[in-house]
Amino acid sequence: MTSFIQLLVSGLATGAIYALIAVGFTLLWQTSQTINFAQGEFVMLPAFFILEAMYLGAPFWLAILIGIALSAVFLGILFKLIIVDPMLKHGVLPLVISTIALSLFMKEMVKNLYSSNAQPFPALAPPIDLHFFGAVISTQSLVVLGVAISVVLALHLLLHKTRLGRAMQATAQNPTLARILGIPVRRMVLYTFLINAVLCAIASILISPIYLAKFINGETLGVAAFLAAIIGGFNQVRGAIFGGFILGILDNLSAAYLSSTYRGAFPLLILIAVIMWRPQGLLGRVEERTV
Amino acid sequence: MNRLGALAVAAAAVFTVVLPLFLKPYGIYLSSTWVVLSIAAMGLNLTLGYAGQVSLAQGAFVGIGAYTTALLMHAGVPYPIAFVAAGLVCFVVGWVLGYPALRVQHHYLAFVTLAFTTLVFLVLRNEEWLTGGTYGLSGIPRPTLFGWSTTGAVSFYYFSLGILTVLTAGTWWMLRSPWGRAFLALRENPTRALSLGLDTRRYTLMAFAIGSSLGGLSGAVFAPLVQYIEPLSFTLNLSLNLLLMVIVGGSGFFFGPFVGALVAVLLPEWLRFIQGYYLVVYAVMVMVMMAFSPTGILGLVERFVKAVSVRHDPPEPVLQAKRTSP
């Protein structure tokens, strides 16, 4: 039972990170029909921005701010202007291919500039083990969980309680109508790209102390984000959050109780089951077909 | 096909036949690799170029085909039977995989096939009793057909080229047959095809299954070419690379995959002087191409030919590209 609690907490912590990545992923899909196959690399890269800033002498907190700012510029604004905007007129498929190429580009650049070795990355909290009813829980898990949940809450408040957030939702649901209502649709779309970039940067800061900063990190994280988004519901922010947590918990529990060599297989089986029986995702709405 | 296209294909065919005369063993090995990749990419083009569905499983099918061939040959089964079995196994697996995925539309096939590729890798790595685990399978013999041994590099190249020719002719014939015209209809205008009474879902599934079986057959050539296979050869990376090949060559063009495979084989050789950065260059190339010519190299060629020719024949559907839109 104690080990179950430990696994559950670490599963929740991983799940919270997956949720952050998946939320950005679904936001992009909703507002601009961008399926970002480079999402995992978007999480891999900010850690290197931060390491680079620290290498140039910045203290950790400043490096984090620089990393988030650089992510917003490169992974938010420039990604939209250079990759997404010229492609939108060609439809979904060329953009998918383009983001696949982008992920290859980012991976190879980091590998060439930083070597393929894993780089240590400072943690937000000192690694102290806390004891709760016999279960050992590290402060790192708790910090990850705390940060991720506050970020998700802040995003929820932004999207549902502010005028700006409602304008963004309107843009996602019906861009034409939103434009008629006087909402600056293009700017709203840009905001979602910025939010995605910042979410990815935060996920990067949370996960890099655990996984170490490595060029290959994006592969598993990107797949985890797809899985979370589809399992939870592609067209719902809360679906992505739910999917992220499910995935994180499942991943940890199945590795411990079922089979560690087939650890990666269980989320995939769930994915196939969801697609077969509930293709809109566990929390998703059925998307209406447009003619 | 117009006259210019036919001439280009004939010239390319002659070129592939005389090629080994000018190459060192390594060059011949690369040419055989091109053949293997072309078969797999041609199969993927059916799914992507004609049915408009992104599949990230083609690398896994190459793997299933290669392992099927290797296991059967180790069990003493003659190569031709192992070859056919590789194609059949992949056809069946493709059908079973595509059936649920194509029930729901849009991008779901991409995600299901992505999951499938990872699952296949895990099975290949973990089921040591069957696949040899991480050690893989070695000592795969090159076949002897009617007393003709294909052990040498040159003879194996001609052997694989022969298979490529047969499969290309078969696919071409299939696409020209009344039955195969449905695939063209699927590419040109799926909504219209549906309204004309074509069961588009069945044809999409068919295109995917046939494409998968071509992936398996490519694996059946790959196994005796390299003579040693391991799970790491068939990860998601191979699937992504095959996808990029089809796109770079020109998806929806019959000969697009051949061009794409050629680029994928030659680029690392040409860009050897920049070492690790060749994939960076390749990635940038793909992104630029997607922005300016989503129909790939052959799309560019077609535009160029149209621009320079004063009089041009009305384009026939097989060589005419369509922008793949949702």
Got the DSSP string for A133-157?
TTEEEEHHHHHHHHHHHHHHHHHHH
- The residue ranking higher by pLDDT, A176 or B133, is A176
Q: Residue B62: what pLDDT? A: 96
Task: State yes or no: pLDDT of B274 exceeds 70.
Answer: yes
Q: What is the mean pLDDT of residues A266-279?
A: 79
Q: Residue A65: what pLDDT? A: 94
Residue contact A227–B115, C-beta within 8 A: yes
DSSP per residue over B240-292, as a string?
HHHHHHHHHH-TTSTTHHHHHHHHHHHHHHHGGGGGGGHHHHHHHHHHHHHHH
Q: What is the mean pLDDT of residues B267-284?
A: 83
User: B148-149 and A135-138 as β-strands: parallel, antiparallel, unpaired?
Assistant: unpaired
C-alpha A236/C-alpha A257 separation (Å) is 31
Q: What is the mean pLDDT of residues A203-217?
A: 89
Task: State yes or no: pLDDT of A58 exceeds 70.
Answer: yes
Task: State yes or no: pLDDT of A218 exceeds 70.
Answer: yes
**What are the pLDDT digits (tens) for B244-258?**
999 989 888 889 999
Q: Is residue A250 part of a domain?
A: no
Cβ atoms within 10 A of the Cβ of A284, count?
23
Mean pLDDT of chain B: 84
Residue contact B100–A275, C-beta within 8 A: yes
**What are the pLDDT digits (tens) for B155-165?**
889 999 999 99
Task: State yes or no: pLDDT of B83 exceeds 90.
Answer: yes
Q: Residue A3: what pLDDT? A: 79
Residues of A in contact with B280 (CB under 8 A): 105, 108-109, 112
- pLDDT band, residue A74 (cuts 50/70/90): very high
Q: Residue B243: what pLDDT? A: 92
Nearest chain A residue to B322 by CA: give it: A90
- The residue ranking higher by pLDDT, B94 or A138, is B94
Phi, psi of B137 (to 5 degrees): -120, 130
DSSP β-bridge partners for residue A129:
A138
**Highest-scoring range by mean pLDDT, A194-203, A206-215, B142-151:** A194-203
Q: Is residue A175 part of a domain?
A: yes
The contact set of B with A (CB < 8 A) is: 52, 54, 100-101, 103-104, 107-108, 110-112, 114-116, 118-119, 122, 125-126, 236, 240, 243-244, 247, 276-277, 279-280, 282-284, 286-287, 290-291, 294, 323-326
Residue contact A104–B282, C-beta within 8 A: yes
- The residue ranking higher by pLDDT, B161 or A254, is B161
Query: Which two tokens mark B158?
Result: 């001609």
Cβ atoms within 10 A of the Cβ of A233, count?
25
Task: State yes or no: pLDDT of B320 exceeds 50.
Answer: no
- pLDDT band, residue A289 (cuts 50/70/90): very low
Q: Residue A211: what pLDDT? A: 85
- The residue ranking higher by pLDDT, B252 or A50, is A50
Q: Is residue A276 part of a domain?
A: no
C-alpha B108/C-alpha B127 separation (Å) is 28
C-alpha B67/C-alpha A186 separation (Å) is 50
Task: State yes or no: pLDDT of B71 exceeds 90.
Answer: yes
Q: Is residue A135 part of a domain?
A: yes
Q: What is the mean pLDDT of residues A55-79?
A: 93
**What are the pLDDT digits (tens) for A121-150?**
888 877 777 777 777 788 888 888 999 989
- Choose the mutation target among A30, A36, A102, A104 for the interface with B, i.e. most B CBs under 10 Å: A104
Nearest chain B residue to A288 by CA: give it: B105
Q: Residue A258: what pLDDT? A: 78
Q: What percent of chain B has pLDDT over 90?
A: 31
CB pairs under 8 A between A and B: 113
DSSP β-bridge partners for residue A135:
A132
Q: Is residue A239 part of a domain?
A: no
Q: Residue A86: what pLDDT? A: 84
Nearest chain A residue to B246 by CA: give it: A97
C-alpha B55/C-alpha B244 separation (Å) is 11
**What are the pLDDT digits (tens) for A14-24?**
899 999 999 99
A202 is in which domain, residue-wise? 2-226
Residue contact A97–B52, C-beta within 8 A: no
Q: Residue A90: what pLDDT? A: 80
C-alpha B96/C-alpha B84 separation (Å) is 19
C-alpha A38/C-alpha A106 separation (Å) is 8
**What are the pLDDT digits (tens) for B181-221?**
887 787 777 778 778 777 778 888 888 999 999 999 999 99
Alpha-carbon separation of residue B39 from A95, A112, A248, B222, B227 (angstroms): 25, 32, 39, 10, 18
Mean pLDDT of chain A: 86
Cβ atoms within 10 A of the Cβ of B226, count?
16
- Neighbouring residues of B293: CB distance < 8 A, sequence distance ≥ 6: B299, B300, B303
Q: What is the mean pLDDT of residues B290-311?
A: 81
- Whether the ipTM is more than 0.90: the answer is no
Residue contact A97–B100, C-beta within 8 A: no
Phi, psi of B104 (to 5 degrees): -100, 145
Q: Residue B105: what pLDDT? A: 58
C-alpha B185/C-alpha B163 separation (Å) is 28
C-alpha B45/C-alpha B33 separation (Å) is 18
Q: What is the mean pLDDT of residues A184-192?
A: 90
Q: Give the amino acid at B79.
A: Y
**Nearest alpha carbon to residue A225 among A87, A77, A29, A7:** A29
C-alpha B25/C-alpha B16 separation (Å) is 15
**What are the pLDDT digits (tens) for B21-66?**
788 888 899 999 999 999 999 999 988 888 878 888 999 999 999 9
Q: Is residue A38 part of a domain?
A: yes
The secondary structure of chain A in percent helix, strand, coil, rounded to multiples of 5, reads 75, 5, 20
- How many domains in chain A? 1
Q: Is residue A291 part of a domain?
A: no
Residue contact B290–A268, C-beta within 8 A: no
Task: State yes or no: pLDDT of A82 exceeds 70.
Answer: yes
Query: Which two tokens mark A241?
Result: 């959050």
Q: Residue A72: what pLDDT? A: 94
Residue corresponding to tokens 């559907």: B317
The secondary structure of chain B in percent helix, strand, coil, rounded to multiples of 5, reads 75, 0, 20
Residue contact B118–A230, C-beta within 8 A: no
Q: Residue B311: what pLDDT? A: 55
Q: Residue A119: what pLDDT? A: 86
Task: State yes or no: pLDDT of A96 exceeds 90.
Answer: no
Q: Is residue A179 part of a domain?
A: yes
**Nearest alpha carbon to residue A13 among A252, A220, A234, A190:** A252
- pLDDT band, residue B137 (cuts 50/70/90): confident
- The residue ranking higher by pLDDT, B271 or A99, is A99
What dihedral do alpha carbons A137, A139, A140, A144 form, nearest 10°?
Answer: 100
Residues of B in contact with A112 (CB under 8 A): 276-277, 280
Distance from CA of A264 to the nearest CA of B (A): 8
Task: State yes or no: pLDDT of B90 exceeds 90.
Answer: yes
Q: What is the mean pLDDT of residues A213-226?
A: 86
Q: Give the amino acid at A201.
A: A
Distance from CA of A110 to the nearest CA of B (A): 10
Task: State yes or no: pLDDT of A291 exceeds 60.
Answer: no
Q: Residue A135: what pLDDT? A: 74
Task: State yes or no: pLDDT of B91 exceeds 90.
Answer: yes
